[in-house]
Structure 1
Amino acid sequence: MTTPKPVSHAARDQVGRLLALVPYLHQHGEVRISEAAEALGVDAAQLDKDLRVLFMCGLPGGFPDDLINVDLDALEGEGIIRVDNADYLARPVRFGPSEAAALVVALRAIEQSASAETREVVARTLAKLEEAGAASAAEQIHVSADDSPGADLLPVLQGAIDRGHQLEISYYVPSRDEQSSRIVEPRAITRVGDATYLDAWCHTAHGDRAFRLDRIVAADELAETVSERAAQPRDLSGGWFRGEGETVAVTLRLWPDAQWVPEYYPVVDSTPGPDGTLDVVIDVAGEAWLQQLLFRVAPHARVIAPREFAESFTANARAALRLYQAGGVG
């Protein structure tokens, strides 16, 4: 069995830094690396590494005249960043037919489930694209309504958000295999990755929660208005569940016979462990679900953290073993 490659964010992070670095250098011209590092919020040593990648970037073709030029002598000798042959970065962005089509499709998909204010912004953007002729190749594109689970509830959810009303929802949590009724104060509907979420303040949990639309079984708009707790959408750039108590990050060490787990369950992180093992981090909403998973993969998995989860599973496994040894299980 081939060991899955560890999840790595290094390349993605570097691309993000380069996208911020190039406009900054184009605007400021010659700057000291310490000054640029402070402005961009990155370590100077890391910025030096990024600059050595930058001179391999440029226009298609890959010839010397196509690539951005970084003065390495000035960088190494004086600690000064000098970049040229990047004037094309100041030119207005022009969309090709395929790029325009992709942008129009995305905007029209957003328009279907967006708030009234967002729909107005999307409509203005589409109009500008059409005026500029960028959307000519996409004029015949039609985006059908989302038929994924929970999509039929979008009008009810968005209507409650627009009118500032609370909702009563019936929500299914697969990791606990249970369905519950909750009163929530909705803020916004947001798509993250392949899933759409309702961001809300939950009366049952007494805190902020994010509910996947494909797990909302039913929803009814209530007459009660939302409070200040749902006045503004949250900044969810750091993730839905970080610090909210909705899930617990559990680190599992998987031996080869259990390394199918990250193929079936979403993992937050994955790194190689000792002796061919794989360490994965999973967001778990309930200890009962975790124990079911551990019994399935035993003895080819072990809880590394949190320690109390490892101790709890060990105690339950020993109790189950005693039943077998005492003949209590036929």
Structure 2
Amino acid sequence: MSTAAPTRLSRLLAMVPYFLARPGIRLSVAAADLGVNERQLTKDLEQLFVCGLPGYMPDDLIDIEFSSGCVHVGFTAGMDRPLRLTGAEANVLIIALRMLLDAGAVDSDAVRRAMAKIEAAVGLTLTPVAATTPASDDPVRKSIRDAVAAGRALAIRYYTPSRDEVTDRVVDPIRIQAIDSQSYLEAWCRTSGGVRLFRFDRVYSANALDEPSSPPPEAAAASEPLAGSSTLTGDLPTVRVEIDPDSLWLLEYYAAEAEVELDGEPDGPIVAVLRYGSSQWLERFLRSFGGSVRLVPGEADDVASAVASTAAAARARYR
């Protein structure tokens, strides 16, 4: 039974320990083991040769000798050891996973298993965050998520720090947003008569009402996700992008799926469907790849125009 070939990123991550355990192995044998041809393996080794530790001076880069037809590893740059998260790095991951749980648009069991593994791996370093950040499956948060998903109005008790008071409100949910590592309910507040953001950890209680969420049409239409935020309710919007072969690693780090089955390294660009939280994020994302990731013509024309304008302005400064 055949299995799908690993992506290039997965292959590169596995290569250093593979060759370290097989000093002097011939390229032809290694290519067969790794499921690629010798030409592709040589390209992979050339890529590894310019990877390494921050500083990226010659002594910081992975040292692999393969010009003689056999492969020898001189310096691993730490690639022979399992990745170990610092407490700060683990905390960031835990917070991000909890925000995904707040969205209610992911496999909650899978997210909880991932959180448990991270917490077990780093031990007590997560205690401060665990103590100050409410659990994402707490009843109040669940009530908010369920009301957004079902389109129901909510009765909430909310703490307003600027006035140091707790008020009872009835709100009509619009969406859930993630802003600066916090989850917010965006809703029409019937008490205030306007759209407000309610931070999850300041909602003392939330009870769905037996009536639909009905924000004024103009409020829901005018309410756009804030710059730097992600809309977490329901399915994220999608866009089709072209990805050059050297940037295919992004498929493993972002919510993107190739439209064709990848079997080894493609000869040219591939098209993938990318999920994104806001147009501002999408614009920054595309700019960061310097042209190796592009919108398919006809997709998100406003973002394409913004990226083109920014690139043109950058080129003009060099003149």
TM score, norm. by length of structure 1 = 0.38
Q: What's the TM-score, normalizing by structure 2?
A: 0.39
Work out which structure has the larger RCO, using CA pairs closer than 8 Å and 6 or more positions apart in sequence: 2
Higher Rg: 1
